[in-house]
Structure 1
Amino acid sequence: MGQRSLRKYLYDIQQSIDSINEYLGEKRDFFAYEQNKLLRRAVERELEIIGEAVNHLLELDKSIAIDNARRIVDLRNFVIHGYDKVDNVIIWGVISKDLPKLKEQVDMLMAQTTIL
């Protein structure tokens, strides 16, 4: 069951990253993001899912090879509990800088993890 759970949470992260990329499209435009409440909320929801999945991964394996795993969970908590203080610039930085690296790491972990 452990490997299956690991794969499930890794898959959830992959799906949320793919969804964020789909929502933003090829032309990444911060101004358009900032002006579109529906888009911002959709991205924030996917970040919540990513944070929750990473939290579950940490519960299963504290040594999981995901950089800044604790920060990812903390971002999830902030987006949920500090919804009125979410900074679009910070979220955009996460999308631009952190998500591509997370995607690489999750893809690598999925390739290494087999369902038993």
Structure 2
Amino acid sequence: MEIEVRTRLEDIKQAINEIYSFLPKEKEYAVFQEDLKGKRAIERNIEIIGEAINKILKIHPEFPITNARKIVDTRNRISQGYDTVSDAIIWTIVVRDLEKLKSEIEKLLTDS
């Protein structure tokens, strides 16, 4: 695996770990909604993940990350259409999709 791809995967792994560190301990949506700093930090890390995947896809368009294109699109939506991103969208991504992405990234890093 190229060093640039490995570096981007490490960036994604770090961003995921940071997202988990910003989640409320109770993992309750209402608590998340009240934490403006935490929400913004999570959004920023989702942007980092999307940008890292975008850079990987420029090198390897068929890179094996589930929903890679959707992740990049989400990054674009957060950064360019910030007024169309709801707390519910971010929360759903974090509680439904993030663990699978984390597993995929760890496997890619381990297998390389």
Give the TM-score band, short-chain normalised: over 0.9
Cα distance, 1:25–1:37 mapped onto 2, change above 3 Å? closer
C-alpha distance in 1 between matches for 2:64 and 2:103:
11
Q: Secondary structure at the match of 1:92?
A: helix
* Residue 20, structure 1, aligned to residue 28, structure 2: no
2:64 counterpart residue number = 65
* Residue 81, structure 1, aligned to residue 80, structure 2: yes
Q: Which runs of 4+ in 1 moved over 6 A?
A: none
Per-residue Cα deviation, 1:23-46 (whole angstroms, up to 9, x for no partner): 115421211111111111000000
Q: Secondary structure at the match of 1:53?
A: helix
Residue correspondences, number: 112
Counting only pairs closer than 5 Å after superposition, residues 26-105 of structure 1 correspond to structure 2 as 26-105=25-104
**Structure 1 gap ranges (5+):** none
**Structure 2 gap ranges (5+):** none
1 or 2 for the larger relative contact order (CA 8 Å, sep ≥6)? 1
The Cα of 1:62 is off from its aligned counterpart by 1.2
TM-score by length of 2: 0.95
* Residue 110, structure 1, aligned to residue 109, structure 2: yes
Identity of aligned residues (%): 38
2:3 counterpart residue number = 4
For the aligned residues, what is the CA RMSD? 1.1
Farther-moved stretch of structure 1 (80-89 vs 7-16): 80-89
Whichever residue aligns with residue 66 of structure 1, its letter is: I
